[in-house]
Structure 1
Amino acid sequence: MGDVQSRNVTSVITLLTDYGLEDGYVAACHGVIATIAPEARVIDVCHLIPAGDVRRGAAVLAQTIPYLPQGIHIGAVDPGAGGARRAVAVEAGGQVFIGPDNGLLSWAVAASGGVRAAYEISNQDYFLRPVSPTFLGRDVFSPVAGRLWGGVRPSDLGPEIPIGRLVSLPEPTSLLREGSVEGEVVSVDRYGNTQLSIAAGDLQALGVRVGDTLGVWLGRRQLALPYRETYAAVPPGELVAFADSAGLIAIAVNSGDAAQRLGLPPGAHVRLSPTP
């Protein structure tokens, strides 16, 4: 896409929110975009992010962005909605990310090559009127996305923000030590699968292969889990570790909820190692 002013009709607008599917919030955003940019193609990334879970939203957007066409990407997960949080437009790798400046966009921006420029969204000429302070997705992000798709430049939206002043979430940690690798739970999906910050390549570096048994330390607890290609490789109700579609290690229960069974919320510390 490059400069949004020279966009082509194949670029898309995407939506990621915690609005759910039981109300008309998502439809309202679609309606605003369709009114302003009727030819734009809109992709729904996810609307079932747990309410206010910025970290989960950041993980979903970052892991989805490599498979999306270049476009304008709206993120609306903000437990501080209605407060003083500024709205931002961030250019990165030919993409434009729109959302609250709360770190939600930061991992996807990094996955797109890093910030090229960022702007505060403050030019009310591009907003709906009146603006509801609790529904910026409809009244600010969606109309701004439609205007960008139509040729408005990000720099038209408001003053430029120094890159270092953007809010960023801490990157998930992973540390390879002699004989083990330490990480954390990045996110938990709707099935209760716990995605770790540990890459499959880290286990390969330790000599762990699919079919082996994996030592798992969760605080003071120690487990021995089968390391397989998929959760379906173990009987229903059994725990398993596998490399997920993002290339990260996940712990799951076949037909069950691993996060609930093990008490593993996002951010929980995990250590993995080969078993003798």
Structure 2
Amino acid sequence: MLRPWITGVRNVSSADPGGAAFVHLPDAVTKVVLRVSADGHRDVLAVGPRVRASYHEGKAHLSCLELRLAPGTALPLLGVPAAELVGRAVPLDRLPGGTARRLARKLRHLEPGEVVPYLAEALPGTLPAAADHGRTALVRAGADALSVRAGRAPAQVRDVARELAVSERQLRNLFAEGVGVSPKHYARIDRVRTVVTRAATASWSELAVATGYYDQSHMTSDFRSLMGVPPRSYVTGRLPSTTPCRAAAGG
């Protein structure tokens, strides 16, 4: 079982250099990424949270297997707080965690289809002794409460802190270690990502209400801040200029 360490697995590929832009959405998640280039070269990276969107040119025949880490997992798995990885893509074997280095050595030699079965067997016996379960449980409960869910708008940071019986400062410290961004910015990223995914199925005013914004103007302002363009421009393909893609992976 991958849970509670990995919350999602995704294959990402690009084979159209110079074609349509691809987007790295803001993402309050740390990932482990197995990246395979056209010549077969493999990298295993720790990719930290991304606080704003970026837009990139196509890159030929690059494929990535993306493992999304659960909140609170970065420190026991990678050996560093998530805050140290924000906006970075770091070779996994350069991180201080012994588990990270062992994973890097193993994953580099696995085919993408072999990664999940290997982790399902390896992770349960690796992390429990290293993890602070109390802190991890608080981070995960906070992240869930601040996220948009079907039929439920995200809670306010002050209400989440009160519900978890911690101060807002303690909650910020927990999020810095376990998520990498503040609770407020985590909630902003989650709302904007929800707007992106639901834009084709709901009106702007409905989206604003469903995602916990004061009104449509507030949603537009937040979206522009994180995505670089307002929602209508994004969904109609009027995007910012692209830049070359460096070491980051996934979107």
| TM-score normalised by length of structure 2 | 0.31
Bigger CA radius of gyration: 1
The structure in which a higher percent of residues are strand is 1
Instruction: Identify the structure with the greater helix proportion.
Output: 2
With the length of structure 1 as denominator, give the TM-score of the two structures. 0.28
> Could you say which structure has the greater relative contact order, defined with CA pairs below 8 angstroms and 6 or more residues apart?
2
